[in-house]
Each structure stands twice: as C-alpha cells, then as structure tokens.
C-alpha cells in the first residue's frame, strides 16, 4: 500500500486559503485601517515630458481637512528609489526615479505632489487644485526612434547590452537559408484586479516603521528601505496581507510605498494610500514593449546554424527596481529549447516618455519565444519542412543534459538547463492534442472557406533561482503546526503548497498546518514570490525543515514506543510502528508536550518540537513546455477566436495538480489577452490612451478559450530534493507564439503576424494586404 506521504504530494487538495476569501473575510490593503490615519493622494503629471517651473499648492492647502502637501522640495533628503541589492549597475543609477519628480516629469502619471488629508475624497478634491507650471520638452515616444535626452547631457539609451556565444559572423553568407524578421510586442501589464495599496505606520513606542500592503518580496524591499531610509533592519517591517493578484508587477518598491512610510514618521500619523484604477494603468509597472530585428541561419535540413537579434527595449520614464533584468532575461532565453551553435543578441535599453517598465509574468520569455518561434515557422515554410519536424530536429536532446550556455561576455551567468526530455514532451503533446487528425480537419474547414489554423510554440522556462531560502517549523502541544516562511502569496496557493510539502515530509495532518509568509518581523530572511521561485526555493526549505522536525519527533517517539526511529512512520500527526499500524502510537502533540521547555522528558535535547532549515542552491530549475493553439479569423470583423489551446508543461514534480493547472490556465488566458486584446497605447505626444479597463481590454469569460493542460513530471530537477520546477509562468510563455502561428495558418500567409497584440484592426490590415 502506498503510504500517505507519497500521496499527499501532487494531490488535488482543497486550498487552505479559501475560507476567508469566499466568506468576505479577507484582509486586502484597503481593508486595513489604523485609528487617526491620514489619506494620501498623489498628484500626477499630465505631461509626458516637461521641465517643472513651479507647483502651486496654495489653494489646495486651503481646503479644510488637508493636513500637508509635499513636493520634491519637502523630501529632498530622500534619494531616488534604489535597485535591489544585486542589481546596482552603476551606469543605470542616473535613471532612477525620485518619489516625487525633482526637476522634470518623464511620463504621464509621474508623481509630482502628495496630498495628505483626513479623508480620501478631500484629498482628491485638493489634488484637482494643484497647479503645475511647466516647459514642455520633446517627447520620446518609442525606443526605436532616434535617442533623445533623459536629462541635460544624458541620452535616453541607458545601456547597450549584449549576450553572445560562438561566432555568428561567418555563418550568414554561407548558410543555405537566412530568415530575417521585424517583430514587435506591445505594452502589456499584469493588471491585477486589486489595485496597489500601501499603509505606513510609525510605531513611536519602538521607533519602528511598518508598511502594510507589501507583497511579492517583502524582505528584499525591507533591505532596500534599510539603505534608503538609513534605518536598521529591526526598525522597518513589512507586512503582507491578502493580495489581489501580482503577476510580477505588484510588490516592487514604488514611490507611493516610500511616501507613506516617510509621511507616517514625519506627520506623526498612519498614512493610507489606495490606488485608483486610472492611476494604476499609468503608474504601475508595464512591460513587454520590444522591437526585434532578428535573424536565423539554417542548413538545408533545417538545422539552425546561428541566431542574431538586435532589439529595442522600451523602458519608459525611469529604470525601476529591476535594473536591466528584463532585457537580460530576454537575451538569455532567446535560444529556447534549441541547440544553436552561435548567438549574438544586442539590446538597446532605452528610456522613453511612458510609464516605466519592469517584470510582468514570464518577463523577456513571452517576447523571446514569440521572436524565435516566428522564425521557426517561416524557416519551415521556406525549407518545405513540417513545422513540428523542424523544431524536433533542433531540440536539445536528453543526452545533452545538463545543457550549458556560457556567454562570451565576462561576468554573465552561465545557464545550466538542469534536466529535460523535450522531444518526449513534444511527442506526448502531439498525441494529446491530436495534432495529425487536426491537420486533416483544418484542411477540410479551410477548403470550405473558413479562415482557421493552428500554431505552436516551444519554450524553456526558468524558475527557482537561488541563492537561498529558509523556514522555521514548530509543532505546539495541541499538535498545531506553524510553518513560518519568508515567502509571499499573491493568490497562487502558496499556503496550500507549503502545507502539502510539510504534511508529506513531516507526516502532519494537513488541516492542522498554518503557513505564515510576508512578515519581516517574524522571520529575518525570505526570498519572496518572484520569478517562479516560491515553490522551488521556499518549498525546498520547508521540506528540509519538516524533515528535521520529523527526525526529532521520531527520536522521542522511539524512546516512548521502545523501538528505533527507523522502524517508525508518521501519518496524520500520529507516530506508529511501520509494521504494526494498529499497535501503540503517539501523537505529535504528545511529543511536543514532552519537549516543552522545562519538561522532565527532555533528556539532553533542545526544547520544543521545532526546527529551522535552509535550502541553498546556485542553480536554477528549467521547466519546459509547448503550447498549441487553434484560431479562427473572422474575415468581416478581423476578430480572432481561439477555439482550442493546450499547455503541455513539465514541472519536474507537481505539489498540487489542481493548483498547478490553475496557474497554467490563468497564465494562458493572460497570454491570450496579450496576444489579442491588451495594449497600452500612447498618442504621439505621450498621452496614455488606455487608462480605464474599458480601454485596456482584459479577457472576459466569453473570449477565454477552454484550455487543456498536459502536465508531465518526466524530468525532476536535480537542483532540489523534491525535484520541483516552477509552474507560475508556463501558461503564458508561448501563447503569443502559438496564436501568431495559428493566425498565419488560418490566412495562409506564413510570417504575416509581426506584432502583438493582433487586434481586429491589425488583422484587417493583414487581410486586406492578402486580399
């Protein structure tokens, strides 16, 4: 009989986090209040690029209930918002954002003043009365136009970044085929349903600053705040409550987070800020906005000989906390699942007068997969090789694992694809999707006049980048298990996942486990939830810690049951002798009681049934996947309907299949949004044209395709004991690529889709060109 321990990992257990959320008892940012709090309202620039002449706050300050109004001059002692500790590239420092604009505004939405009032409605009234006098400056509207000026004497190209391996130069002239493409990905963002919020409190008793509404990486943000505010780590604490979706954009340090903290201290009252939707759509990080000129060389069998890409990354008005992380990830992951002998990528990392950009779910990967897979489709057509076959011929093989990509540039980290059988996933996916039957069916429908086709995208994801995370687990005398982590939860089911890992490793009853996260005052370290790290890093730390607790419990139980630890097992919080399940047993609660401080039964042991443990790794875990799409184009309206979609994904090991599929399906529908509807567009003068959810179109239920998931566990990661790889980004990575391929196929023009999203307007243009 399979033991419970084996079963609980992977089981589709109901989530521990659901009860408060379905009964209206959640604690999201706007649900948090402190007595005597002030409300902050940010006054934002209506200009995309301008020099500030003056800011008149006079009439606004007359409104009863307005307590203070700040402009940059009031907080000039506060430096710009820092990069995370590990991203402090000197050359980018000049492009950081101050909490309130200093002498220039650089995008519509750039904070210029902060109003603190007794009531949010009053603060908003006052904001309308602020007069901003400026000299308008010429607007840099796109990264690929002539560079302009970020500041006097400082150009808008913040950096020219490269990633290369091998030598591409001899290849182009001799290759059998060279495919050149000119491709763009639109500006998208996570757009969580809950806008951002931040509540700052200064605890005067302990002189501690507390930030509520934190998310994603509370500990890393605490470290940045320690540097920026010159306070010791013990005097700044971040607290994560419920979080209404993150997707990479929530939880970075933004101007508003710092303003509420500084104001709480200086004004002596708690300060609450809740973003409105319009602000969110012009102030929160955006992403994806890249223009690629890429090429690949092939021999006549479709073998890739080289890849080169020059691209322009539209960073928007400032470089935020990630530095140049997104263009770097783009370059790292461009070659995807293929073996490519020579590679050269060059990125123009440029500032423009738009909302600043940063990470959004599968950052750099959604974009790079789109570019690479577009080329594969075109090459297949030109060489007369089947689209699937040309990919198969280039896949990194199972014997190549671990597969290393070492870049020529000194200092760039070497990628090590830890494990994978890419071809086997491809085979399984083709069968599961009934790819061959599908071709016949589509041919028939096209013959009948329908514009319908299919496409695919093959990719490698990245997850679980170290270096370290830890956990503390304790069992109390009631048998309740507390799992204390420095992780974060953005709705992905973090608590359930950690509880399942704990239950499996320790043998504790799943329903007696409480998982804590996002509280910097409870645990001094924490990696947070970013770049699909949570399950891999925190999960591994929890596993290691739970095993330590188990060992201690077994040691005590062996004494009580007069046997040896290796003959014992634990299930549902009860320790018993493995080959005598119905015999004597002892509960974890009883063991905890025996280990209580001062207990006579302690022997030489440290008190308490608890442990602390760490997972260290230098390596990332690389999951991989394939997306298939079937799409139908309406020739009249240009509307595209995704009829079928499949996500095939290998995660090494799934902790909870239900949650994992939830991540894949949710990510996939976000990808469909990015591929077909969502776009932050701007006028030539830099005015944002999508500032409500009626302009920035999120997918609704009626346009979300039914998504099939094929989750495999063929290639456990050797980087951690459980073999886990991250699941958060596999649903979205290849969506743009697969849908582009399907649209091409539907209209019979390979390579037609050159830009995402394929809006009905763009589709009509393509159809007219064809027609």
Partner 1 sequence: MMQKHDIKLDINGKKYEIAVEPRRTLVDVIRDQCGQTGTHAGCHHGVCGACTILLDDEPVRSCLVFGIQADGKKIRTVEGLAEGNKLHPLQQAFTDHHALQCGYCTPGFLMLAVGILEKDPDISHDDLVSALSSNLCRCTGYANIITAVKAAAEQMRAG
Out of 197, 491, 623, 662, the residue judged to bind ligand FES by CB under 6 A: 491
Q: How far apart are CA 217 and CA 123, in angstroms?
A: 30
Cis peptide before 580 (omega within 30 of 0): no
Instruction: For residue 411, give every residue at least 6 positions away whose Cβ sits within 8 Å of its Cβ, in sequence order, or none.
Output: none
Pick what 24 binds: ligand FES, partner 1, none; C-beta below 5 to 8 Å, kind-dependent: partner 1
Task: Spell out, one character per residue from 255 to 294, where the chain touches partner 1: x when CB under 8 A holds, - when not.
Answer: ---------------------xx-----------------
Cβ pair 647, 622 in contact under 8 A: no
* β-pair partners for 710: 648
Looking at the DSSP bridge assignments, the partners of residue 403 are: 417
Our CB check for partner 1 shows the closer of 31 and 133 to be 31
206 binds, among partner 1, ligand FES, none (CB under 5 to 8 A by kind): none
Task: Output the smallest distance, CB 333 to partner 1, in A.
Answer: 23
Q: CA-CA distance, 333 to 362, in Å (whole number)?
A: 10
Cα of first residue to Cα of last residue in the chain, in angstroms, is 65
The position carrying tokens 């790079």 is 368
What letter would DSSP give residue 90?
A: G
Q: Judged by CB, which is closer to ligand FES: 314, or 678?
A: 678
- Give yes or no for residue 529 binding partner 1 (CB under 8 A): no
C-beta separation of 464 from 724 below 8 A: yes
> Which range of residues in 298-306, 322-330, 431-439, 491-499 is near partner 1 by CB under 8 A?
491-499
Tokens 């009580």 belong to 560
Residue 35 interacts with partner 1 (CB under 8 A)? no
Q: Which is nearer to ligand FES, 147 or 245 (CB)?
A: 245
- How long a stretch of residues is the chain? 771
Report the residue number, 80 or 245, with the smaller CB distance to ligand FES: 245
Q: Is 65 in the site for partner 1 (CB under 8 A)?
A: yes
Residue showing tokens 């060992």: 551
Provide φ and ψ at 212, rounded to 5°.
-100, 150
| Closer of 515 and 553 to partner 1 (Cβ) | 515
Query: In whole angstroms, what is the distance from residue 540 CA to residue 450 CA?
Result: 50
Q: Does 316 bind partner 1 (CB under 8 A)?
A: no
In the shown chain, the binding pattern of residues 737 to 756 toward ligand FES, with x for contact by CB under 6 A and - for none, equals --------------------
Rg, C-alpha atoms of the chain: 27
Query: What is the SS3 assignment for 530?
Result: coil
From the list 50-58, 601-609, 661-669, 740-748, the region that binds partner 1 by CB under 8 A is 661-669
User: For residues 667-696, which are near partner 1 according to CB under 8 A?
Assistant: 667-670, 692-694
Binding of partner 1 at residue 21 (CB under 8 A)?
A: yes
Site string for partner 1, 167-196 (x = CB under 8 A): -----------------------xxxxxx-
* Beta-strand pair 755-756/177-185: parallel
Least distance between partner 1 and beta carbon 121 (Å)? 7
Q: Does 245 bind ligand FES (CB under 6 A)?
A: yes
Residue 405 phi, psi dihedral angles, 5° rounding = -120, 110
CA angle 201, 211, 234 (to 5 degrees): 90
User: Which residue number, 193 or 234, has a Cβ lying nearer to ligand FES?
Assistant: 193
Choose between 247 and 349: whose C-beta lies nearer to ligand FES: 247
- Part of the chain binding partner 1 (CB under 8 A), chosen from 10-18, 80-88, 326-334, 744-752: 10-18
CB of 423: closest distance to partner 1 in angstroms?
28
The stretch among 46-54, 428-436, 632-640, 660-668 that binds partner 1 (CB under 8 A) is 660-668
The nearer residue to ligand FES, 491 or 751, going by C-beta atoms, is: 491
> By CB under 8 A, is residue 728 in contact with partner 1?
no
Please give the Cα distance from 379 to 371 (Å, whole number): 13
Residue 662 partner contact from ligand FES, partner 1, none using kind-dependent CB cut-offs of 5 to 8 Å: partner 1
Cβ nearer to ligand FES, comparing 246 with 623: 246
Q: At what angle do helices 255-267 and 218-229 cross, to 10 degrees?
A: 60
* Pairing mode, strands 149-151 and 131-136: unpaired
**1 touches which of partner 1, ligand FES, none (CB within 5 to 8 A by kind)?**
none
Compute the least distance from the CB of residue 761 to partner 1, in Å. Answer: 21
Query: What is the C-alpha to C-alpha distance for residues 170 and 168, in angstroms, rounded to an integer?
Result: 6
User: At its nearest, how many Å lie between ligand FES and the CB of residue 732?
Assistant: 15
* Size of interface with partner 1, in residues (CB under 8 A): 57
Least separation in angstroms between residue 277's CB and ligand FES is: 8
The SS3 of residue 273 is strand
Task: Based on the shown chain and the rule CB under 8 A, indicate whether residue 490 belongs to the binding site for partner 1.
Answer: yes
Build a one-symbol-per-residue string for 151-190: x at contacts with ligand FES by CB under 6 A, - elsewhere.
Answer: ----------------------------------------
**Among residue numbers 229 through 258, which ones bind partner 1 (CB under 8 A)?**
242-247
Asked whether 565 and 571 are in contact (CB, 8 A), the reply is no
Do β-strands 403-405 and 415-417 pair in parallel, antiparallel, or remain unpaired? antiparallel
| Contact of 420 with 396, CB cutoff 8 Å | yes
Nearest-angstrom CA–CA distance, 496 and 503: 10
193/706 with CB nearer ligand FES: 193
Instruction: Classify residue 502 by its DSSP letter.
Output: H
Bond into 77 cis (ω within 30) = no
- Residue 689 binds to ligand FES (criterion: CB under 6 A): no
- Taking the least distance from each CB to partner 1, the nearer of 493 and 688 is 493
Binding residue for partner 1, selected from 4, 26, 596, 760, defined by CB under 8 A: 26
Q: Measured at CB, which residue is nearest to ligand FES?
A: 193
The binding track of 275-304 with respect to ligand FES, each residue x by CB under 6 A or -, is ------------------------------
Q: How far is the CB of 242 from ligand FES (least distance, A)?
A: 10
Q: Binding to ligand FES by residue 193, rule CB under 6 A?
A: yes
CA distances from 117 to 67, 100, 260, 517 (A): 5, 18, 12, 32
200 binds, among ligand FES, partner 1, none (CB under 5 to 8 A by kind): none
- Shortest distance in whole angstroms from residue 217 CB to partner 1: 17
DSSP codes of every residue in 674-696: IIII----B-TT--BS--STTTS
Q: Supply 540's token pair.
A: 């591994």
The one among 659, 722, 737, 758 contacting partner 1 by CB under 8 A: 659
Alpha-carbon span 641 to 704, nearest angstrom: 9
3-state helix, strand, coil in the chain (%, to 5): 30, 25, 40
Considering only 285, 492, 610, 759, the residue that binds partner 1 (CB under 8 A) is 492
Minimum CB separation of residue 670 from ligand FES in Å reads: 11
User: What is the rounded distance in angstroms from the CA atom of residue 466 to the CA atom of residue 452?
Assistant: 44
347 interface partner picked from partner 1, ligand FES, none, CB below 5 to 8 A per type:
none
A 10 A CB-CB count for 32 gives 20
- For 502, other C-beta atoms within 10 Å of its C-beta total 29
- Provide, rounded to whole angstroms, the least separation between the CB of residue 60 and partner 1: 16
Q: Sheet holding 304-314: strands in order across?
A: 157-165, 343-350, 304-314, 290-298, 177-185, 755-756
Interface with partner 1 (CB under 8 A)? 14-15, 17-19, 21-26, 28, 30-31, 64-65, 121-122, 190-195, 242-247, 276-277, 490-493, 658-659, 662, 665-670, 692-694, 698-702, 704, 706-707, 731
Interface with ligand FES (CB under 6 A)? 193, 245, 491
């Amino acid at each position: 009989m399979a033991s419970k321990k084996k079963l609980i990992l992977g089981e589709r257990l109901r989530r521990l986090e659901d009860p408060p959320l379905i009964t209206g008892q959640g604690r999201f940012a706007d649900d948090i209040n402190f007595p005597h709090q002030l409300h902050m309202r940010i006054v934002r620039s209506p200009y995309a690029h301008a020099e500030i002449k003056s800011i008149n706050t006079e009439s606004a300050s007359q409104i009863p209930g307005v307590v203070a109004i700040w402009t940059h001059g009031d907080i000039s002692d506060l430096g710009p918002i820092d990069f995370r500790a590990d991203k402090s590239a000197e050359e980018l420092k000049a492009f950081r954002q101050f909490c309130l604009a200093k002498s220039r505004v650089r995008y519509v939405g750039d904070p210029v003043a902060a109003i603190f009032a007794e009531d949010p409605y009053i603060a908003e009234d006052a904001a309308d009365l602020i007069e901003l006098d400026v000299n308008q400056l010429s607007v840099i509207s796109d990264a690929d136009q002539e560079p302009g000026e970020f500041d006097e004497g400082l150009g808008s190209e913040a950096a020219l970044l490269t990633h290369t391996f091998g030598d591409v130069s001899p290849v182009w002239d001799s290759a059998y085929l060279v495919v050149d493409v000119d491709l763009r990905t639109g500006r998208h963002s996570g757009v969580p349903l809950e806008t951002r919020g931040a509540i700052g409190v200064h605890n005067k008793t302990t002189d501690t600053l507390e930030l509520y509404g934190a998310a994603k990486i509370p500990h890393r943000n605490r470290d940045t705040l320690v540097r920026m505010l010159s306070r010791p780590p013990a005097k700044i604490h971040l607290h994560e409550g419920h979080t209404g979706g993150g997707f990479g954009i929530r939880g970075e340090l933004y101007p508003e987070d710092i303003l509420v903290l500084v104001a709480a201290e200086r004004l002596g009252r708690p300060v609450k800020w809740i973003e409105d939707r319009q602000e969110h759509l012009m102030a929160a990080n955006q992403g994806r906005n890249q223009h690629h000129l890429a090429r690949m060389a092939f021999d006549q069998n479709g073998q890739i000989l080289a890849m080169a890409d020059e691209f322009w990354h539209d960073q928007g008005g400032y470089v935020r906390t990630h530095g140049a992380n997104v263009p770097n990830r783009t370059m790292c992951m461009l070659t995807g699942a293929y073996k490519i002998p020579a590679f050269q990528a060059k990125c123009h990392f440029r500032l423009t007068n738009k909302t600043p950009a940063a990470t959004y779910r599968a950052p750099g990967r959604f974009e790079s997969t789109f570019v690479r897979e577009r080329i594969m489709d075109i090459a297949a057509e030109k060489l007369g090789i089947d689209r699937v076959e040309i990919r198969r011929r280039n896949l990194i093989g199972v014997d190549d694992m671990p597969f290393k990509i070492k870049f020529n540039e000194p200092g760039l980290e070497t990628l090590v694809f830890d494990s994978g059988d890419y071809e086997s996933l491809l085979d399984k996916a083709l069968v599961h999707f009934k790819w061959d039957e599908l071709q016949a069916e589509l041919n028939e429908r096209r013959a009948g006049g329908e514009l319908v086709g299919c496409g695919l995208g093959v990719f490698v994801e990245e997850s679980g980048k170290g270096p370290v995370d830890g956990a503390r687990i304790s069992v109390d005398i009631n048998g309740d298990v507390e799992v204390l982590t420095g992780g974060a939860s953005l709705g992905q089911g973090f608590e359930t996942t950690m509880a399942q890992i704990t239950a499996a490793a320790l043998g504790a009853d799943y329903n007696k486990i409480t998982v804590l996260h996002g509280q910097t005052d409870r645990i001094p370290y924490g990696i947070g939830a970013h770049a699909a790290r949570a399950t891999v890093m925190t999960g591994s730390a929890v596993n290691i810690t739970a095993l330590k607790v188990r060992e201690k419990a077994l040691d005590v139980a062996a004494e009580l049951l007069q046997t040896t630890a290796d003959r014992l097992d634990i299930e549902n919080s009860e320790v018993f002798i493995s080959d005598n399940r119905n015999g004597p047993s002892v509960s974890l609660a009883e063991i905890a009681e025996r280990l209580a401080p001062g207990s006579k039964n302690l022997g030489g042991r440290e008190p308490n049934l608890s442990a602390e443990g760490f997972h260290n790794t230098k390596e990332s875990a690389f999951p991989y996947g394939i997306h298939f799409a079937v799409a139908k184009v309406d020739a009249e309206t240009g509307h595209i309907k995704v009829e079928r979609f499949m996500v095939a994904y290998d995660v090494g090991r799934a902790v909870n299949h239900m949650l994992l599929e939830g991540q894949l399906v949710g990510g996939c529908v976000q990808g469909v949004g990015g591929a077909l509807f969502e776009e932050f567009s701007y006028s030539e003068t830099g005015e944002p044209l999508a500032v409500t959810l009626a302009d920035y179109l999120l997918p609704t239920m009626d346009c979300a395709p039914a998504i099939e998931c094929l989750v495999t566990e063929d290639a456990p990661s050797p980087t951690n004991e459980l073999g886990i790889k991250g699941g958060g980004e596999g649903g979205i990575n290849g969506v743009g690529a697969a849908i582009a391929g399907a649209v091409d196929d539907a209209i019979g023009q390979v390579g037609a889709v050159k830009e995402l999203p394929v809006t009905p307007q763009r589709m009509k243009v393509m159809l007219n060109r064809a027609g």
